[in-house]
């Protein structure tokens, strides 16, 4: 079974991505600042800035990056922090994907 990491799995889009991947019989690993109650997949409560291969071992097929700051008011009030945070998390996941030699089909963050 192919292993896929979904960042931001507790969010609106991430939760739908998880459901879809499970229906397609992927082994799903969720990464977020929070954990879901009563989930039927592996979850890690990790800040993306601190992700490393020690916590997530083994062969990874792909990464779907759904994590990011979504609070509209915060983004409006702090555009530089919003941009830097979301850009940084995307860079971290791209680098993680490169090191793990896995697919990175894209990110759901739009700058």
9 pLDDT tier (thresholds 50, 70, 90) = very high
Residue 106 phi/psi, 5-degree rounding, is: 150, -175
Q: What is the mean pLDDT of residues 34-47?
A: 85
Residue 106, pLDDT > 70, answer no
Residue 76, pLDDT > 70, answer yes
């Amino acid at each position: 079974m192919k292993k896929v990491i979904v960042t931001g799995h507790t969010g609106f889009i991430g939760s739908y991505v998880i459901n879809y991947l499970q229906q397609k019989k992927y082994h799903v690993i969720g990464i977020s600042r929070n954990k879901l109650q009563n989930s039927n997949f592996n979850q890690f409560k990790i800040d993306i800035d601190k992700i490393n291969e020690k916590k997530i071992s083994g062969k990874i097929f792909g990464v779907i990056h759904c994590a990011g700051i979504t609070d509209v008011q915060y983004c409006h009030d702090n555009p530089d922090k919003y941009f830097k945070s979301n850009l940084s998390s995307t860079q971290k996941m791209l680098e993680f994907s490169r090191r793990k030699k896995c697919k990175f089909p894209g990110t759901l963050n739009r700058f």
